[in-house]
């Protein structure tokens, strides 16, 4: 289809029904490691049963349903089940610890949560029992939690039974309690402009905020992302990135469902699992942040796998090194690989390269604006558009913009201008042909291997460490991850402390990727004439203080 294809006015449920009708026997979801396979027809039926089960248990239209899980088999089914019965899927970062989960469930006024047993060193079940001990004694579905007054139901995203929680077989078993007529009535109340997904992001400032995305925004963004890769039902995408990010649930899932593509899903990234999934399933596409591609390219078993089936995919999430892009094209046969750029507040992609772009644009830019989205570069002070080749703040406007931050009109007003432009907080230049290059950041965000980390969150936490007078957190350049977290601490008089003391204090309290890898004790910070701390100078200082970071 051409770039002037009109936008689809569909809900996510309507999109899946349409794709399943057109491609009933095409595989929709595949897990190589457990031989889990569903055709589009089977997947559509499963999501209906899950949706009816949630309705039977009392989940209402507009309620939030959080999912705190790795890419397990029922994650994607839950994404569509919630959409089909009018709930809002609230994605939770799998790296979150106790403090972060408490903040998210409280701030979002969340009514329901699905969890797995845990991930890495985090025991999700124990964390939830610690925060809501009432779970152990109260009747399921009638929770009255002191910590979470809005919480009504807790579910386990699998077959195992846990006190106070419903499991997946029980939810599916309840589906028969809802008639097809009742289900159709609920669906008739849904609209493409309804909020369907909420993702917490630090945005450009402050603590994480709930970004509200609509059916229309994620359905259409997914369509154009897939169209740029020339996706068709013959394609098989190896989906390695976390589903809780837009990279997973929009660039991945929504692009596939729009075009009838098979999703070969990896539960958590592991280079060997990914390479064997590509080889065994003859995947034609794979997604990843640059560090994932580097991990595969540099793995000692790389040459043991056959990548000749690959054609396209996406590298995104953090700046894509030109050398890595060229290696992926040559050694992994991904001649048509694309680069995307966007942010959660834009559902998320605003620009993307195409296989037809000249090579230098495909490795050195983030492409041109997707259809129906306007992209421009503006002077961050005056708000006026800058000439071609001049650096400014990247802004965009179109159907893809979020409805706003949940319960936060002030932050929404700062992010979106009165004339409808979303301010990205990123610096870039645009050439005369409309190709965008990202050159830096206005915001203080640290991007570590594709994970957005907002310094203030860590600073606020470290202020609670006894003996700390002041703390500033900034990104330390890293060859492997792009950036690592650095903490620059001024201690109170007479206090001595070692870097490991700081890291020990963080363990178990904040996500592992937010724990400062580099800690420096300083006497002062670089400041402007008006007394504002210059974070970019801390970044430069970090490069000098920690030269090992670039090795």
Mean pLDDT of the chain: 93
Whether residues 71 and 170 share a domain: the answer is yes
285-288 and 312-315 strand pairing: parallel
In a domain, 389, yes or no: yes
- Residue ranges of alpha helices (H) inside 132-262 are 168-173, 180-188, 215-228, 246, 255-259
Angle at 25 between CA 169 and CA 16, to 5 degrees: 65
Task: Dump the DSSP string for 263-314.
Answer: EEE-SS--HHHHHHHHHHHT-SEEEE-HHHHHHHHT-TTGGGS--TT--EEE
Same domain as 467, residue 428: no
| Domain CATH code at residue 97 | 3.40.50.12780
Residue 14 CB contacts under 8 Å (≥ 6 apart), including other chains: none
471 with 428, same domain: the answer is no
456 and 379 both lie in a single domain: no
Asked if residue 466 has pLDDT above 90, the reply is yes
Residue 294, domain member (yes or no): no
Task: Report pLDDT digits (tens) over 308-339.
Answer: 999 999 999 877 878 889 999 999 999 999 99
Structure tokens that stand for 429 in this block:
């230049």
Residues 437 and 452 in one domain: no
- The CATH number assigned to the domain holding 371 equals 2.30.38.10
**Which tokens in the block code for residue 83?**
């959409």
Query: Does 410 share its domain with 532?
Result: no
Q: Is 207 helix (H, G, I), strand (E, B) or coil?
A: coil
Helix, strand, coil distribution of the chain in percent, nearest 5: 35, 25, 40
pLDDT digits (tens, 9 = 90+) for 181-227: 999 999 999 999 999 999 998 654 567 899 999 999 999 999 999 99
Q: DSSP 3-state assignment of 46? A: helix
Q: For residue 302, is the peptide bond before it cis, meaning its omega torsion is within 30 degrees of 0?
A: no
- Say what percent of the chain tops pLDDT 70: 97
pLDDT band for 236, please (50, 70, 90 cuts).
very high
Entry pTM? 0.87
CATH number of the domain where residue 519 is located: 3.30.300.30
Distances (CA, A) of 452 to 200, 236, 353, 431: 11, 28, 22, 27
The total number of structural domains in the chain stands at 3
* Residue span of the structural domain in which 436 resides: 338-441
Distance separating alpha carbons of residues 252 and 39, to the nearest angstrom: 17
Residues 39, 116 within the same domain: yes
pLDDT tens digit sequence for 425-445? 888 999 999 999 988 777 778
Last-in-domain residue among 268, 301, 321 = 268
User: Are residues 424 and 452 in contact, defined by beta-carbon separation less than 8 angstroms?
Assistant: no
Residues 452 and 427 in one domain: no
**What is d(CA 408, CA 92) in angstroms, rounded to the nearest whole number?**
19
- 415 with 494, same domain? no
Q: Are 148 and 105 in contact (CB under 8 A)?
A: yes
Would 40 be classed as within a structural domain?
A: yes
pLDDT over 60 at 488, yes or no: yes
Using left for φ > 0, alpha for ψ between -120 and 50, and beta otherwise, residue 289 falls in beta
């Amino acid at each position: 289809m051409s770039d002037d294809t009109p936008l689809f006015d569909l809900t996510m449920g309507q999109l899946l029904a349409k794709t399943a009708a057109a491609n009933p026997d095409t595989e929709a979801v595949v897990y190589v490691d457990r031989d889990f396979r569903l055709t589009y027809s089977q997947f559509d039926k499963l999501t209906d049963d899950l949706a009816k089960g949630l309705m039977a248990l009392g989940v209402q239209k507009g309620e939030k349903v959080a999912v705190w899980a790795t890419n397990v088999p029922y994650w994607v089914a839950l994404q569509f089940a919630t959409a089909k019965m009018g709930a809002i899927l609230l994605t939770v970062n799998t790296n979150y610890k106790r403090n972060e989960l408490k903040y998210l469930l409280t701030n979002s006024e969340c009514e329901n949560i699905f969890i797995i047993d845990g991930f890495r060193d985090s025991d999700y079940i124990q964390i939830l029992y610690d925060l809501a001990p009432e779970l152990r004694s109260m009747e399921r579905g009638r929770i009255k939690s002191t910590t979470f007054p809005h919480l009504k139901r807790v579910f386990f995203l699998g077959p195992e039974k846990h006190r106070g929680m419903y499991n997946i077989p029980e939810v599916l078993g309840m589906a028969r309690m809802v008639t097809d007529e009742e289900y159709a009535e609920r669906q008739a109340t849904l609209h493409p402009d309804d909020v369907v997904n909420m993702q917490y992001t630090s945005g450009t400032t402050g603590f994480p905020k709930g970004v509200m995305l609509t059916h229309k925004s994620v359905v259409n963004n997914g369509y154009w992302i897939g169209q740029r890769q020339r996706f068709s039902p013959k394609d098989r995408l190896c989906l390695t990135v976390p589903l809780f990010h837009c990279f997973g649930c929009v660039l991945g899932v929504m692009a596939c469902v729009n075009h009838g593509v098979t999703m070969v899903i990896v539960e958590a990234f592991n280079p060997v699992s990914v390479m064997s999934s590509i080889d065994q399933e003859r995947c034609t596409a794979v997604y990843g942040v640059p560090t994932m591609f580097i991990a595969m390219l540099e793995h000692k078993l790389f040459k043991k796998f056959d990548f000749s089936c690959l054609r396209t995919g996406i590298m995104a999430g953090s700046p894509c090194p030109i050398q890595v892009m060229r290696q992926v094209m040559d050694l992994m046969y991904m001649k048509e690989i694309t680069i995307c750029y966007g942010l959660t507040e834009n559902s998320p992609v605003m620009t993307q390269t195409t296989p037809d772009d000249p090579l230098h644009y495909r490795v050195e830019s983030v492409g041109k604006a997707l259809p129906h989205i306007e992209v421009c570069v503006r002077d961050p002070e005056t708000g006026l558009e800058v000439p071609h080749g001049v650096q400014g703040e990247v802004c965009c406007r179109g159907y893809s913009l979020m409805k706003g931050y949940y319960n936060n009109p002030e932050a929404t007003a700062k992010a979106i201008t009165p004339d409808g432009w979303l301010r990205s907080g990123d610096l870039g230049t645009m050439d005369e042909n409309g190709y965008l290059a990202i050159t830096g950041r206005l915001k203080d965000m640290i991007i570590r291997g594709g994970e957005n980390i907002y310094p203030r969150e860590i600073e606020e936490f470290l202020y609670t460490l006894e003996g700390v007078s002041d703390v500033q957190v900034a990104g330390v350049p890293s060859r492997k991850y792009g950036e690592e977290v650095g903490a620059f601490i001024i201690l109170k008089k007479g206090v001595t402390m070692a870097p490991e003391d700081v890291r020990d204090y963080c363990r178990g309290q904040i996500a592992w990727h937010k724990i400062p890898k580099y800690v420096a004790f300083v006497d002062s910070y670089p400041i402007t004439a008006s007394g504002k701390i210059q974070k970019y100078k801390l970044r430069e200082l970090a490069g000098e203080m920690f030269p090992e970071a670039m090795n």
